[in-house]
Homo-oligomer: A and B are copies of this chain.
Amino acid sequence: MSPPPPSTLSRTETLSLGTLTAACFAILANAFQGDDKPLIVSLALSGLAFSASFALIRWLGPTFMKAGFKGVDLGKSSRREIPECMGAVCAAVYLFAIIVFVPFVFYGDVVAATSGGGNRDVVLQVEQVNGGRFLHRFPHSKLASYLSAIVSLHTVASLGLADDLFDIRWRHKFFIPAFAAIPLLVVYRVDFGVTSIVVPLQLQPYLGQLLDLGALYYLYMAAVAIFSPNSINILAGINGIEVSQSIVIASLLVLNDALYLLTPYPHPATDSHLFSLSFLLPFLGVSFALLYHNWYPARVFVGDTYCYFAGMVFVVVAILGHFSKTLVLLLIPQIANFAYSVPQLFGLIPCPRHRLPKFNARTGLLEPSVTMWGEARQPNRVVGAALKGLHSVRLIRGVWDDEGRLMETSNLTLLNLWLVWRGPLREDRLAMEITGMQVAVGLFGLFVRHRLALLVFREDNWAVLGGQAGG
């Protein structure tokens, strides 16, 4: 077995991270001197989060392996052990950054609130400060939302860690995100309680402009909260794919936020999208640090912790920012992967413990992994016919023997399907192509959201129906 990966920073890495850290601290120190611009502060904190994650992932490798967080990379010839569950480091750094960010976000309110007692000087000063920069303000009532988001993220990170520690069973861990979403939904109920959605034009004659879904809206949010983290967790198994898809989704959400901030007039949803940015930028910071170490050939694994955590970050910003439908659009590849997996997940087709693509040691390439159908467990007639049909349209690859008995079928995951289509690929090539596909589908999703939406809704972000319902 080859030695574990190094656990120190190279000279170049130390210098670069040091410079970045110093620059970010300079920005923060400046921000403390009264000229607070949360977006700049958030960027600086994201830079610090990147540096901290990068260094900690490297340094903590041996500690994690000693504590039992280690695994063997099944997609390599050298079967060396590398640290597992490094997403926990990212989650910890992220939460720390987000908590430290609170006073910056609420700076204006702090001064106004604590100088109470009729001290007009200070209040005036705040008003002056705010006058020039309306973009940077969060309403004070958002503090609870902000904190509930932190509680949810903290919960999902803890439960993810418990999963990595105790190997929770599939049917139990499916509901981990639901538990984590409770604080979010509880505070949503206490603090907003908006359960109306904008009705598409075509249905307005029957339902009115806004439809109050009531309790159903909470069910819908819970469903999104359960789906998003799990969907990231099942589009996994090759180096870098968990992190790269998360980075793509986060970046597209940032792009979406930017569209609202760059409108020619102050948009009513500005606050929601600043809120979203303040959660997404540090997430991008820690994720890039992780990607560097997890990209092919991986020197660390991310663990379920990262997948759940990433999925929950998206849920948090989408729910509190009222754009959960946009999130669903960006998760289309994950939805496709899930839908494609359903026959195996629900036992219609046998499901082996691991379905990740098979590493061919001779060629060094990945090939679709397969489920073997023995003599004894042939599919029934309906499933058999369906599999034949799917094979003929190249949605699976099946092998039948001369007597028409099913020998094997490729496993039902997007990664295997891609290999069925594209032929054997090297691991990083596969990760790159899937990531590229995620970018393309996501950009198309945003295009649909912002251009074609006018076909079914009367207004879009460039001319909005009062309030932020729907999204």
Q: Which residue in chain B gives the minimum CB-CB distance to A113?
A: B193
A433 in contact (CB, < 8 A): no
A464 in contact (CB, < 8 A): no
A151 in contact (CB, < 8 A): yes
Interface residues of A in 85-122 (CB under 8 A from B): 92, 95-96, 99-100, 102-103, 106, 109-110, 113-114
> Does the CB pair B151–A96 fall under 8 Å?
no
Q: A143-B144, A190-B103 are in contact. Are A183 and B68 (CB under 8 A)?
A: no
A189 in contact (CB, < 8 A): yes
Report the bound CA distance from A168 to B6 in whole Å.
21
Report the bound CA distance from A147 to B158 in whole Å.
17
User: Which residues of B have CB within 8 Å of A151?
Assistant: 99, 147, 150-151, 154
Contact of A102 among B95, B106, B187 (CB under 8 A): B187
Contact of A147 among B63, B95, B147 (CB under 8 A): B147
A448 in contact (CB, < 8 A): no
A219 in contact (CB, < 8 A): no
User: Which residues of B have CB within 8 Å of A161?
Assistant: 158, 161
Q: A158-B154, A165-B67, A166-B67 are in contact. Are A106 and B190 (CB under 8 A)?
A: yes
Residues of A in contact with B, size category: 35 or more
* Chain A 62-94 per-residue mask, 1 if CB under 8 angstroms from chain B, else 0: 010011100000000000000000000000100
Contact of A95 among B114, B143, B155 (CB under 8 A): B155
Report the bound CA distance from A450 to B381 in whole Å.
82
What's the nearest-Cβ distance from chain B to residue A181, in Å?
11
Number of copies: 2
> Does the CB pair A103–B186 fall under 8 Å?
yes
Report the bound CA distance from A416 to B109 in whole Å.
52
Interface residues of A in 38-68 (CB under 8 A from B): 63, 66-68
A191 in contact (CB, < 8 A): yes
Report the bound CA distance from A109 to B66 in whole Å.
50
> Does the CB pair A190–B154 fall under 8 Å?
no
> Does the CB pair B68–A182 fall under 8 Å?
no
A179 in contact (CB, < 8 A): yes
> Does the CB pair B182–A99 fall under 8 Å?
yes
A157 in contact (CB, < 8 A): yes
* Chain A 140-180 per-residue mask, 1 if CB under 8 angstroms from chain B, else 0: 00011001101100110110011001100000000000010
Q: A150-B151, A154-B158 are in contact. Are A190 and B67 (CB under 8 A)?
A: no
What's the nearest-Cβ distance from chain B to residue A316, in Å?
14
> Does the CB pair B154–A186 fall under 8 Å?
no
What's the nearest-Cβ distance from chain B to residue A263, in Å?
27
Q: A144-B147, A166-B67 are in contact. Are A100 and B193 (CB under 8 A)?
A: no
> Does the CB pair B96–A189 fall under 8 Å?
no
What's the nearest-Cβ distance from chain B to residue A101, in Å?
9
What's the nearest-Cβ distance from chain B to residue A163, in Å?
11
Report the bound CA distance from A148 to B189 in whole Å.
18
> Does the CB pair B68–A187 fall under 8 Å?
no
User: Which residues of B have CB within 8 Å of A109?
Assistant: 190
What's the nearest-Cβ distance from chain B to residue A432, in Å?
34
Contact of A186 among B92, B102, B158, B182 (CB under 8 A): B102
> Does the CB pair A179–B103 fall under 8 Å?
no
29 pairs, CB–CB < 8 Å, chain A vs chain B: A63-B166, A67-B68, A68-B68, A92-B158, A92-B162, A99-B155, A99-B182, A100-B182, A100-B186, A102-B183, A103-B189, A103-B190, A106-B190, A109-B190, A110-B189, A110-B190, A113-B190, A113-B191, A143-B187, A143-B190, A143-B191, A144-B144, A147-B147, A147-B148, A151-B151, A151-B154, A154-B155, A157-B158, A158-B158
Q: A67-B166, A68-B68, A114-B193 are in contact. List 14 more A-B contacts (CB 8 A).
A: A67-B68, A67-B165, A92-B158, A92-B162, A103-B186, A103-B189, A110-B193, A143-B187, A147-B147, A147-B150, A147-B187, A150-B151, A154-B154, A158-B161
